[in-house]
A and B are shown apart, each in its own frame.
Chain A
Amino acid sequence: MSNSHADNSHGHGHHPALAHHFNNMEDQFEAAKFGMWLFLVTEVLMFGGLFIGYIVFRGLYPEMFAEAHKVLSVPMGALNTIVLITSSLTMLLGVTSAQRGERTKSVRFLWVTILLAACFLVVKYFEYSHKFHEGLLPGALFHNEHITHPKAPLFFSLYFMMTGLHGFHVVVGMCLIFWIIRRSKRNEFSPEFYTPVELVGFYWHFVDLVWIYLFPLMYLVP
């Protein structure tokens, strides 16, 4: 039984995507998914460091946060939240379509997801350029006369670091979605094998997850 894998002679054809060190597609799928969850744990901890930085500085300078956050546009942030949640939904529909073997539908949903991700970045671009223009920049680069609190540059360090790292994840996510669209077009996925589609979906939902917290913390500080 065990040496039958080495010579690759199962007798009956196994799935072409099955790596030789796995017994079956189920094990391979579960292993890949477990790996993805572990990766997402590291992602939580990476963003977590920044969120704790946020908690510390907000705790030390609450009045500075209350003053500085006002320059962020709530409508823009809310719009981006809606865009990102919708993109998560279309991603999910892209995955479930792939699971059912509906390739054309799946690819269509994935394209809509990329489009929504691009919308998110365009909104972010307008937000960033407004801040650059007003001198609302991190650390020593900060030069804005309207915000008087001496620690205000800290808020913008956090803002740009957190939304910047998140934005980077959006760009990476777009590339990954594009990658699975191409593989899907090459007919590589089927109801028996759709691991990459589902796991890229996880990544995308995680990007959504981070934003769900970033939005109230950055834009809606009371």
Chain B
Amino acid sequence: MESNDHQKHSHHFILPTKTALTIGAILLGLTGVTVLMGSVHLGSFNMALALLVATVKASLVCGYFMNLKYDKAGNGFVFSTAFLFLAIFAVLTGTDIFFRGDVYVKGPLLAATSGGPAKFKTPWIASAEISAHGKELFGQQCTACHGVGGAGDGAAAAALNPKPRNFTANVGWKNGPKPSQIFKTLKEGIAGGAMASYASLPVEDRWALSQYVASLNPQPQKDSDADLALVGVKGGNQEGVETASSIPVEAAIDLLVNEAKAKKAGT
């Protein structure tokens, strides 16, 4: 009985040489197909086809060279779980990376912080341009809570207590409704509420938002020189305007890369 067990091993399936050579030839042929496909331009179809061919090749290697076709199903199952988990990994990572833009703003924020020329020399003075810029930023940063019209009725408002500020009413402004006061709110946030600090936004963008939000007020308030001085703007020149105390990570990476490059170019 036991001696029979010992002999069992020799009954394993051995891949016939002819099959091995055939599979080898197919694999080499498919490599040729892959290379030739590179010279035909089918747009994004190219990569899909190349990966399809690669997967056919991989299946042949697993099935015949690694014997999975003739082996117990368990081994093939175990190996395929690796690809299942890889797929989960890929899908979760992909949904995060490729759809993050819908949640956080990237474009204008990055452009403004990565050393682009300042568009507004005196952003604390109201103008049509800066309000338009502010409106654009408002649509990206603020509407989730404050609503598209700024009435404090955004989709997330229902879950918040205290409720987000209604910008279209002249009551209840914690720091006041003047642009400089809104600017202060954007810098510091509101303690005890959901309003976070937006100090990571460039100064210019924060002023633009302040101007736009102030303009939503039925009785828009203007800043006096004293108001402006409170947030560091003195005598209408740029001296004293504090810079962003922190910047988004992606912007920081951009800055560091640019700096390193400039340094390299200098030496």
Contacts and interface: CB of A to CB of B under 8 A. Distances in A.
Given A45-B86, A213-B58, A14 B78 contact: no
A37 B76 CA distance: 8
A59 B260 contact: no
A222 B41 contact: yes
Contacts of B43: 222
A82 B31 CA distance: 7
Contacts of B24: 85-86, 88-89, 92
A211 B42 CA distance: 23
Interface in A87-122: 88-89, 91-93, 96, 99-100
A52 B50 contact: no
A74 interface: yes
**Which of B53, B75, B78, B257 has the largest count of A CB atoms less than 10 A from its CB?**
B75
Contacts of B79: 37, 40-41, 44
Interface in B1-46: 2-3, 5-10, 12, 14-15, 17, 20-21, 23-24, 27-28, 31, 34-35, 37-38, 41-44, 46
A96 B14 contact: yes
A178 B14 CA distance: 23
A18 B5 CA distance: 12
Interface stretch (A20-28, A126-134, A167-175): A20-28
A74 B82 contact: no
Interface residues on A, range: 35 or more
A150 B94 CA distance: 23
Contacts of A26: 5, 8-9
Nearest to B39: A74
Given A29-B9, A205-B66, A55 B85 contact: no
Contacts of B3: 12
A29 B28 CA distance: 31
Given A86-B28, A92-B15, A143-B264, A34 B38 contact: no
Given A41-B78, A93-B20, A220-B50, A192 B38 contact: no
Interface string A1-27: 000000000101011001000011110
A222 B38 contact: yes
B90 interface: yes
B28 to A, nearest CB: 6
Contacts of B93: 52, 55-56
A71 interface: no
B89 A48 contact: yes
Given A45-B86, A88-B65, A100-B14, A10 B2 contact: yes
A160 interface: no
Nearest to B52: A216
Contacts of A78: 31, 35
A183 B216 CA distance: 84
B57 interface: yes
Given A41-B81, A92-B20, A216-B47, A192 B2 contact: no
Given A85-B24, A99-B12, A150 B257 contact: yes
Contacts of A92: 15, 20, 24, 64-65
Contacts of B74: 34
B31 A202 contact: no
29 contacts: A12-B2, A24-B6, A26-B8, A30-B72, A33-B71, A34-B74, A41-B78, A44-B86, A48-B82, A55-B90, A55-B94, A56-B94, A59-B97, A59-B98, A74-B38, A78-B31, A88-B24, A88-B27, A89-B20, A96-B15, A96-B17, A96-B20, A192-B9, A201-B65, A206-B66, A208-B61, A215-B34, A216-B47, A220-B35
The 5 closest A-B pairs by CB, nearest first: A24-B5, A89-B24, A222-B46, A216-B50, A44-B82
